[in-house]
Amino acid sequence: MIIQNYSDLAKDRGKINALKILTAGLESAMPQKQLQKIINSKQIRCGKKTINLTNYDSIYLVAFGKAADSMANAVSAIINIKKGIVVIPKGLMPEIKNHRFQIFQAGHPTPDKTSVRAARSILKFLHQRNKDELVIFLVSGGSSALLALPDGITLNDKIRVTKELLVSGATIQELNCVRKHLSKIKGGRLIEGMKCDAVSLVISDVMGDDLSSIASGTTYFDKTKFADALKILKKYRLENKIPNSVIRRLRLGASDKIPETPKKSKIPHHIVLTNRDCLQAMQKKSKQLGVSFKTISISGDIAKATSKLVSLIPKKKNSCIIFGGETTVKVKGSGKGGRNQELVLRILEKIQKTKQDVTIASLGTDGIDGNTKYAGAITKNILIHQKEIKSYLTANDSNSFFKKYGGLIKTGYTHTNLMDIGLILTNLK
């Protein structure tokens, strides 16, 4: 069972149905089946392009991200990989046990010294490859922290600017734009000097599935410029909150004194899984359960996403809103929580006076929500004093609320990452 505390949470029909629908979404997020559809021992189907593996003397693998080990496991079970590097978050028990793979467990969401060692090792590994060899990249979310090789600044400088952007409520696209222009590997720089052929198979953790944003476009190319990064820092009024070295480097780049990131794709890419795959699986399960549904995507400011979802809550019996995406939270308090737990609590606050029987749930497909060990939360529209809910929200302490009243969803690391999924399920009283 992917949801480890399923039996503790499944207390009534509404929650049982909600958990079944969420489980279907989580199961579809696992990469093995999708990779098996496009790979066999002789070829890889990369969109409209087919890569003939028999054309190469040796095949190598480089995997990084929250799904790196599960993807590497699936691919190495089909293709004879000579050697590889796999980079996963620290604390994650590797699913792959293969002596041919060097495994790095690096920092996430904050990069660490292992993130730097992993990036340097991959660069060296790629430069050793020749024209008769093929490298298969397996890319998934979380890589922006797992691989770090700052350019012109220190690792601590980069960590500081990343943290300031996160607490300011910057989008993942904005965050990646800045990171790419402070890095020797992001925005396509990782593969600039590579002489061999390669292919990149990607799991998307961003809205719109923009390859230049997934993993900060490490194997792709960059659509943004140094000037864009400066505008983002100005937008969030961070010029005086971050190290001078960061501003200095970005200004040098904006004045053409530092080369821009690559602006063309060097290798073929194929997106293996997206958040839409999760939503489609949830739709299918809803239909099987006899629950009518409407599906929407959510992104951006969490308060606006909350209002949007609440306005769409169906009045029809046995109906639900299925949603997926990723919101942003401007952190002001010092509590524990994550965007999924906070979203559920915000919706609960908004529907206190409803006469409907409502179940609300949201979770991160990677299994970790914010600074907690939980994936998200599920609750009914229980009556709680508005002031109490508001106090938890003000402190960004949604985790403590659900510890008190119940509803925390525990999956542990899922070895995948397709953003967030959730639903609001309605039954008339």
pLDDT mean over 363-370: 97
CA 163, chain centre distance (Å)? 17
For residue 17, count other CB atoms closer than 10 A to its CB: 22
Percent pLDDT > 90 in the chain is: 89
pLDDT mean over 317-336: 94
Asked whether 319 and 291 are in contact (CB, 8 A), the reply is: yes
What are the structural domain ranges in the chain?
6-28+275-428, 32-273
Residue 167 has pLDDT above 90, yes or no: no
> Which residue's entry shows tokens 């890095």?
183
Residue 428 has pLDDT above 60, yes or no: no
Asked whether 27 and 281 are in contact (CB, 8 A), the reply is: yes
Does pTM surpass 0.85? yes
CATH class of the domain whose range is 32-273: alpha beta
Percent pLDDT > 70 in the chain is: 100
Residue pLDDT, tens place only, 49-67 = 999 999 999 999 999 999 9
pLDDT mean over 144-153: 95
Q: Is 328 exposed, middle or buried (0-12, 13-18, 19+ CB in 10 A)?
A: buried
* CATH code, 6-28+275-428: 3.40.1480.10
Task: Residue 255: name the closest of 296, 226, 218 by CA.
Answer: 226
The strand pair at 133-139 and 197-203 is best described as parallel
Residue 429 has what pLDDT? 56
Spell out where 140-220 has E strands. Answer: 197-203
Residue pLDDT, tens place only, 57-99 = 999 999 999 999 999 999 999 999 999 999 999 988 888 878 8
Residue 230 has what pLDDT? 97
Residue 23 has pLDDT above 70, yes or no: yes
Mean pLDDT, the chain, rounded, equals 95
CA atoms within 13 A on the CB side of 141: 29
At 184, the amino acid letter reads: K
Phi, psi of 250 (to 5 degrees): -65, -35
Residue pLDDT, tens place only, 211-267 = 999 999 999 999 999 999 999 999 999 999 999 999 999 999 999 999 999 999 899
Residue 92 has what pLDDT? 86
Asked whether 42 and 120 are in contact (CB, 8 A), the reply is: no
CA 39, chain centre distance (Å)? 24
Grouping H, G, I as helix, E, B as strand and the rest as coil, residue 298 is strand
